[in-house]
Chain A
Amino acid sequence: MMNSMNVPSKRSTLERKLDKLILTLFGTLFTMCLIGAIGSGVFIDRKYYFLGLSKSVEDQFNPNRRFLVVLLTMLTLLTLYSTIIPISLYVSIEMVKFIQSTQFINKDLNMYHAETDTPALARTSNLNEELGQVEYIFSDKTGTLTRNLMEFFKCTIGGEIYGTGMTEIERGVAERKGIKVQEVPTSINSVREKGFNFDDVRLMRGAWRNEPNPEACKEFFRCLAICHTVLPEGDESPEKIKYQAASPDEAALVLAAKHFGYFFYRRTPTMIYVRESHVERMGKIQDVSYEILNVLEFNSTRKRQSVVCRYPDGRLVLYCKGADTVIYERLVGGSDDLKKVTREHLEKFGSAGLRTLCLAYKDLAPDVYESWNEKFIQAKSSLRDRERKLDEVAELIEKDLILIGATAIEDKLQEGVPDCIETLSRAGIKIWVLTGDKMETAINIAYACNLLNNEMKQFIISSETDAIREVEERGDQVEIARFIKEEVKKQLKKCLDEAQQYFHGVSGPKLALIIDGKCLMYALDPSLRIMLLNLSLNCSSVVCCRVSPLQKAQVTSLVKKGARKITLSIGDGANDVSMIQAAHIGVGISGLEGMQAVMASDFAIAQFRFLKDLLLVHGRWSYIRLCKVVTYFFYKNLTFTLTQFWFTFYTGFSGQRFYDDWFQSLYNVIFTALPVIIVGLFDKDVSSSLSKRYPELYKEGIKNMFFKWRVVAIWAFFAVYQSLVFYYFVTVSSSTSQGSSGKMFGLWDVSTMAFTCVVVTVNLRLLMICNSITRWHYISVGGSIVAWFLFIFLYSGIMTPYDRQENIFWVIYVLMSTFYFYITLLLVPVAALLGDFLYLGVQRWFFPYDYQIVQEIHKDEADDSGRTDLLGIDNQLTPDEARSYALSQLPRELSKHTGFAFDSPGYESFFASQLGVYAPQKAWDVARRASMRSKPKPKPNKIN
């Protein structure tokens, strides 16, 4: 279990910053206590005879032992000012977060996946607000971005494109251009099967015979049906057969052949049986057996696969499929038009995020074949360097091919992935794809997800270069390591230099980095790490391919620790566990691939696209709410404690409490507790649909705009101001007699007056930070103020025989019998809040936050429930018109990217096992072994 790590306990960044704030508060507390204590040491003097200091005096007030006085007063003041530390803050935060996660995140219908009946699941309530500050997302590919489902989607045969489907990325591009795309109603008799998502009346049900080039079509289908290493399984009927293939691509191709009328149903070591329907005439079915003479297997250097077969009528044909680059190199001269058109089609497929393969064939003369076959058998039976020799032999025959066409397979993305990624990147979040797949596949998916496009400057650092391969062939491990490291260093340096040029330019292209696992291993070396970090942080997207699970975690912690940014990892499989644990937030995709990822994660969602809701809505709200709760708590305790502090100066620094004990204890528990929790639950700056419509709002969270020291300082400033208002307004105005009876107030009358003002003001201040005020706000704020009055009416009205220190007895009734009480109650809160109000008004007017601007744009709109999509743009076109217009708007241009990707997903686990890493066995491992078992068999037959 090399990849397992200690399960980290995660705390949110905001909480860690909160700890710093609490430490600052402790510092403030000690400073205040120190000032008070020194004051008491200086103050205490026998001359104040009324304090009875002449005889034996306890240490706290003994003028002969001033140092002791200072110490003891320090302790007294510590307890007196301890209200500055918001102990109940932690409890309140926990409550708020708990409800946020269990009631809001877990029950959000926008994150509920109906098909699998999976709601979102917050497995921890610690990290809600962290979701609002994510800057880097590390995503696994298979199962997270894609469904690991290959579907035959389009093809081009003899220069003609077939297939009417539209990929997510095309749809995304169209939507961005503001074209509404209608789903095309599939034709009535279209076939839909897992792995086959193709619809074109021109090809289906034998209609291809009426196309201009039926011969090419026939070769195309035969190539699909014959050139593969798929094993059929189960009943030999088109409905029930199952194909076992090393890669789902192959299965999809064979499946496609089946639907085109070339049903491959049986394989023996030497033969392939194909049931060909509609070959000459509709309705006629014939079983044809092809003898497989040689199989030239696929590997990553060859990037192609060929089969030599003999028709029942003796015709010898080589069918070949492979990457466009390698096929085009080996084509026979002539028919440039076809090549050009097909290349255009390939580019179009590529930019639509499809995986392409070129198909070609070649008729072989028997004598040419025989002489070649001898070489082949020789190579195959050689003991040394067999692989290389086989490749060389294959080169001899795989030439002068005739291009038939190309297939386009959709690596089915999860629903809504490109749109989600686009929204997230507008929110300032950078998305890195970390995958075990190989580079072409990864790049292809990056295109499909809109992470890469042709306008970007792409830096590719790959270990698949000729120079490295050459060194690798020599086989000296130390030398290989040294060489690759050198190479990686050189490459990094080059890329960084180039990248730097783009920074200096004003509007350079966006940058993207693509790096493979082997290079990454060396780039993560401490000496190169800084360079890698510098480069990758400046790229708007990064793709790491062929990485092991451990490297996923390393990359995550590189950004987490090196750049000190908030990271989120999302994945679905066991190989993502370490990455999920390494990131600040781990998100597991629940549902398909077992539970390991979910068990390790902090949040589990059913679909990648729910990240949008999780981050932009829940994360953002939680962050803003928590910031409000924290700063407000800070403010209310500071204000309260400071009034007490100012009073200390007027009591000879004796540590006399200004407020009754009960006031002080209940202040945090009852009189100000509930409203702030309500804000933590219900405050909404903009509605959820606006949050998603303006993803840019999220950037405020990334920049931590609402819990900066500056924000805290502003709160602190107004806390000081308000406490001065409370203390001085109330004491100065009560220095003369109150009411017409000429009687004077005592200490407890004044303090009760001040406390009333504090409670009222602090609760009203809460309403001023609310962006939306529900009934519960009124109830809680009103309830808190009423609770104070109820309490004081009871408390000052009752005298018990048990506690006879009734300072507060009848105080509130005495107060309320004077006009002074009412005028002060009107004046002091207003005077205290005047500064805050002015600040809020000016801030919103002249230095508005982004969310405030959005608020004002939409202030007249009714709050939608977040379910309707406001973005729909009505247009008056008919569906067909709209669709053809949409298609015409798609980028046709220039793409160099043709989307070749052909690789077995088993690669991921294969690669992992190469690195000594455990990866779970998957179904296709078994399939591959099955196909390998059957393949050696042709050889002995041949010898016969």
Chain B
Amino acid sequence: MDTDRERHRARETAFYLFTQQSLPACKPVLTPGWVIAIFLFMGVIFIPVGLVTLRASHCVVEIVDRYDIDCVPEPSRMDKVSYIQDDSIPKNCSRFMKVHKYMKAPIYIYYQLDNYYQNHRRYVKSRSDKQLLDGQKYHDTSYCQPVESNNNRPIVPCGLIAWSLFNDTFEFIREGAELKVNRKNIAWKSDRGHKFGKNVYPFNFQNGTLIGGGKLNPEIPLSDQEDLIVWMRTSALPSFRKLYGRIEEDLDVDDVVVVNLMNNYNTYSFGGKKKLVLSTSSWLGGKNDFLGHACVFVGCSSLTLAIIFVLLHVKYRR
């Protein structure tokens, strides 16, 4: 009983404090002292974080090679679109990449496309996640406009994204010996396991009059078609990289890697660039100084402001 009454009284007191608007409160007053202290604190936090981040980024070795123009033979460069659309011309091309710094395995191979709007609304929504998981058990392909069916039979996988699958291929040779490229485990595990069915096989794919990009082996289930899975995780920006594979050997300084590539994919009609990227990885990821620079910048400006405020405080003491 007593506790009941006490609880009742406590509730009443709380309600009293509420209606009389005198709830206990802390009142932060942003005095110059606090401003200086907080700026100092942020400086102290962000400069080390930034430096560590920058160091991680600097450890990463990255080689970028733009090949879309150079892989078109001189005579065809005036009309690259008809060159790329002409199936009779062989599209193979060799590139030489010089390693300027020791690269420790695994070395990730990316292809990078520019001016390619994977995030366009018409493009993003043109897929059927149900179909990817359940295959032809799922018949409604209306999400996949305009590539939903061919010859009145549904396409698996349907939609613009799958249709426009990137299909340049790369082979790497160092000193005459082929470098082994591991093309497994290049997609996020959640995609492989939950979005692409193990029993779903490509069907009626790229059989139409217009071929958008790569073809798929109808023998392999979608969950193992990792190129497709990577491609279908649409990018945020019109300039993006996608993982192609891994080289699981170290590359030494001054090694020259010969890349034999099939330049199949059409970026010429819309003036997009194609690049090949070899990159190692740190604990943080690829070579990107932005985070580090931003942290250092925030830290330094905080420190500078703190110093300015201290000087002002000394000069115009309140």
Contact = CB atoms under 8 A, between A and B. Distances in A.
Nearest to B309: A841
A307 B158 CA distance: 114
Interface in A609-649: 621
Interface stretch (A123-131, A384-392, A580-588, A771-779): A771-779
A774 B23 CA distance: 7
B261 interface: no
A467 interface: no
Interface string B115-146: 01111111111101110010000000001011
Contact of B124 (A747, A799, A810): A747
A54 B210 contact: yes
A50 B238 contact: no
A54 B269 CA distance: 13
Contact of B160 (A51, A108, A682, A866): A51
B3 interface: no
B20 A866 contact: yes
A710 interface: no
B240 interface: yes
Interface string A275-294: 00000000000000000000
Contact of A651 (B119, B281, B283, B290): B119
Given A108-B19, A855-B27, A744 B240 contact: yes
Interface in A822-876: 823-824, 826-827, 830-831, 834, 837-838, 840-841, 844-845, 855-856, 859, 863, 865-866
B22 A737 contact: no
A50 B116 contact: yes
B241 A737 contact: yes
Given A739-B285, A774-B25, A799 B194 contact: yes
B75 interface: no
A190 interface: no
A113 to B, nearest CB: 16
A806 B187 CA distance: 16
A863 B20 CA distance: 13
Contact of A688 (B21, B30, B122, B147): B21
Given A737-B108, A856-B29, A865-B20, A652 B186 contact: no
Contacts of A393: none
Contact of B19 (A107, A656, A734, A840): A107
A78 to B, nearest CB: 15
B46 A859 contact: no
Contact of B29 (A58, A831, A855): A855
B291 A737 contact: no
Given A735-B237, A738-B285, A826-B49, A809 B194 contact: yes
Interface in A645-688: 650-652, 654-656, 682, 684, 687-688
Contacts of B195: 806, 809
B291 A733 contact: yes
Interface string B97-125: 00000000010101000001111111111
Interface string B234-245: 111111111100
Interface residues of A, number: 89
Contacts of A741: 281
Interface string A20-56: 0000000000000000000000000101111110111
Given A650-B237, A688-B21, A845-B32, A733 B119 contact: no
A731 interface: yes
Nearest to A859: B29
Nearest to A777: B25
Contacts of A838: 305
A805 B232 CA distance: 13
B119 A830 contact: no
Contacts of A823: 49, 53, 284, 291, 295
B286 A736 contact: yes
A652 B119 CA distance: 8
Enumerate the 4 nearest inter-chain pairs by beta-carbon distance, A residue then B residue, closest first: A736-B286, A804-B130, A810-B190, A742-B108
